[in-house]
């Protein structure tokens, strides 16, 4: 019988045998962000469409080509979020977080949606780790968020990433740059794609971000923003570099980076890999001091970044990055007969409430099949319950690593099991044949 449908194009199912990788990466991101003083924010998966028109920019590829926009039943235009910053900025303003001590430093782990041609590292539904620092205008804030991303990569053991930085100036100095770009691209207007010809009068800087090979080749010879920076923007950019150098974070100045969203000002940066094909930008961000005012708030500095989780996992796979083993079952409680299975359910719940992973039979398997299942689960211990064990209130606990048997009381099962596990673990890795990961799991669960 054929399935009635498949997953939509450009989406992926995260299966149980793979989910531990994402959980590990997200845990590293949470821990690092909180060490830097950033705390979690969650925003709706959809927003009013005008939020993205005002923040992301009407001349960007995201708004012109990629957003999932539709009318709800009330006739309002809403859009699935294509990125995380706009929603975070809207929430910051709407909930009055500007009244709290500044800077307000937040992070999020969120899903985003863009209608793009699916390929390796580019999905229509993707997930993003992002940070935003609202209320800090100094170069130190730029350097801090770059250092946060750098620390995440180090934590995860990512290698061979290149940090590329640039400044795209402020609205004042960028005007002269925009004029120079317009003059340059006017001379190549006939060769530009239709989209870029439409951008020429409204926002020629967006042409620098076009993915068309022809437009990209033309853009390579365009004027460079670093030649047009005002004194304040130049001093800010130089100070960012001093902070990065002091923190021993290597970087390359790349004057061609502009980022694909209109809200950026001054510092922009990308962490880039050459190991995952064309979609080599793993993390990108920068400063966007005008965004909050654009959305109706008072002028306030802000900066942040977005890091694609699927793209990061793709890179980790390419680099064969070592990951922790997925959690194993601490104990499988096999049973023979309904009364024994009821007792197994009771014991399993007691163990689970103490933080251990316990399994028992829920599909009426025979004993032999249960033990095969326990083996597939990688159960570290097993115990078999039958009529005799119920009558005597005692059973044999088996260490599946070395085959040792220990008598254990069913009436004091959880406490006794915890003690036995710790004793076994402390007896030594060699005697047990346990890996360090197994040992850490056992001791952690037993505690």
pLDDT in tens, 153-165: 999 999 999 999 9
pLDDT for the residue 274? 87
Average pLDDT, stretch 61-72? 89
Pairing type for strands 252-253 and 265-272 reads unpaired
Over residues 272-298, mean pLDDT: 90
DSSP string computed for 265-321: EEEEEEEE-SSSTT--EEEEEEE-TTHHHHTTS----EEEEEEEHHHHHHHHHHTT-
| Helical packing angle, 16-35 and 309-318, nearest 10° | 110
Q: Classify domain 16-170+230-318 by CATH number.
A: 3.30.930.10
103-113 pLDDT, tens digit each: 999 999 999 99
Phi, psi of 76 (to 5 degrees): -90, 140
Q: What is the pLDDT of residues 46-57, one digit of tens each?
A: 999 999 998 888
Contact 66, 116 (CB under 8 A): yes
Q: What is the mean predicted confidence (pLDDT) over 17-42?
A: 96
* pLDDT mean across residues, the chain: 91
Query: Class assignment of domain 331-446?
Result: alpha beta
On the question of pLDDT at 345 being above 90, the answer is: yes
Tell me whether strands 281-287 and 265-272 are parallel, antiparallel or unpaired: antiparallel
The predicted pLDDT at position 385 comes to: 98
Reply yes or no on whether the pLDDT at 200 is more than 50. yes
Res 5 pLDDT > 50: yes
- What are the pLDDT digits (tens) for 140-155? 999 999 999 999 999 9
Burial class (CB in 10 A: 0-12, 13-18, 19+), 193: middle
Q: Which residues contact 318 (CB under 8 A, 6 or more apart)?
A: 275, 276
Percent with pLDDT over 90 in the chain: 69
Mean pLDDT of 103-128: 92
Average pLDDT over residues 254-270: 84
For 208-254, the pLDDT digits (tens) are 878 788 998 898 888 998 999 999 999 999 999 999 999 999 999 99
* C-alpha–C-alpha distance, residues 341 and 349, integer Å: 12
Q: Where are the domains of the chain?
A: 16-170+230-318, 331-446
State how far the Cα of 16 lies from the Cα of 333, in Å rounded to an integer. 22
Q: How confident is the model at residue 444 (pLDDT cuts 50, 70, 90)?
A: low
At residue 447 the predicted structure's pLDDT band, cuts being 50, 70 and 90, is: very low
Q: Are 130 and 304 in contact (CB under 8 A)?
A: yes
422: confidence class by pLDDT, cuts 50, 70, 90: confident
- What's the pLDDT at 424? 77
The residues with which 360 forms a beta bridge, in sequence order, are: 333
- As a whole-number percent, the residues of the chain with pLDDT over 70 amount to 94
CA–CA gap between residue 166 and residue 169 (Å, rounded): 9
Among 14-23, 71-80, 273-282, 355-364, which stretch is predicted with the lowest mean pLDDT? 273-282
Does the pLDDT value for residue 397 go beyond 60? Answer: yes
More confident residue, 27 or 199: 27
pLDDT of residue 199: 85
Residue 216's pLDDT is 87
Higher pLDDT, 70 or 201: 70
């Amino acid at each position: 019988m054929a399935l009635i449908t498949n997953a939509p194009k450009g989406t992926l199912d995260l299966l149980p045998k793979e989910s531990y990788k994402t959980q590990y990466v997200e845990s590293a991101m949470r821990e690092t962000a909180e060490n830097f003083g950033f705390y979690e924010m969650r925003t709706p998966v959809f927003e009013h469409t005008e939020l993205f028109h005002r923040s992301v920019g009407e001349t960007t590829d995201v708004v012109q080509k990629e957003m999932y926009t539709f009318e709800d039943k009330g006739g309002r235009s809403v859009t699935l979020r294509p990125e995380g910053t706009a929603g975070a900025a809207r929430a910051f303003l709407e909930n009055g977080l500007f009244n709290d001590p500044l800077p307000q430093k937040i992070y999020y782990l969120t899903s985003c949606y863009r209608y793009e041609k699916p390929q390796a590292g580019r999905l229509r539904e993707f997930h993003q780790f992002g940070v935003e620092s609202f209320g800090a205008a100094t170069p130190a804030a730029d350097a801090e968020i770059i250092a946060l991303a750098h620390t995440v990569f180090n934590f995860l053991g990512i290698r061979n990433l290149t940090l590329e930085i640039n400044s795209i100036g402020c609205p004042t100095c960028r005007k002269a740059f925009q004029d120079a770009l317009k003059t340059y691209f006017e001379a190549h207007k006939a060769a530009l794609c239709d989209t870029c010809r439409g951008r020429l009068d409204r926002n020629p800087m967006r042409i620098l971000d076009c993915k068309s090979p022809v437009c990209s080749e033309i853009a390579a010879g365009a004027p460079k923003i670093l030649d047009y920076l005002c004194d304040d923007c130049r001093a800010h950019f130089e100070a960012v570099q001093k902070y990065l150098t002091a923190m021993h974070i290597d970087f390359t100045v790349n004057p061609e980076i502009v980022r694909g969203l209109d809200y950026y000002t001054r510092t922009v940066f990308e962490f880039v890999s050459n190991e995952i094909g064309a979609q080599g930008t793993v993390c990108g961000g920068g400063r966007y001091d005008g965004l909050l005012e654009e959305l109706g708030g008072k002028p306030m500095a802000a900066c942040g970044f977005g890091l694609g989780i699927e793209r990061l996992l793709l890179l980790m796979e390419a680099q064969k990055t070592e990951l922790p083993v997925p959690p194993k079952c601490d104990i499988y409680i096999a049973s023979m007969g309904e009364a024994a299975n009821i007792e197994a359910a009771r014991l399993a719940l007691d163990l689970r409430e103490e933080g251990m992973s316990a399994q028992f039979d829920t599909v009426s398997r025979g004993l032999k099949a249960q033990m095969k299942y326990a083996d597939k689960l990688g159960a570290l211990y097993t115990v078999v319950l039958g009529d005799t064990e119920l009558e005597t209130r005692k059973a044999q606990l088996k260490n599946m690593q070395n085959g040792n048997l220990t008598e254990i009381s069913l009436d004091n099962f959880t406490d006794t099991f915890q003690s036995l596990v710790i004793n076994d673990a402390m007896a030594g890795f060699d005697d047990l044949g346990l890996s360090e990961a197994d040992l850490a799991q056992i001791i952690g669960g037993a505690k």
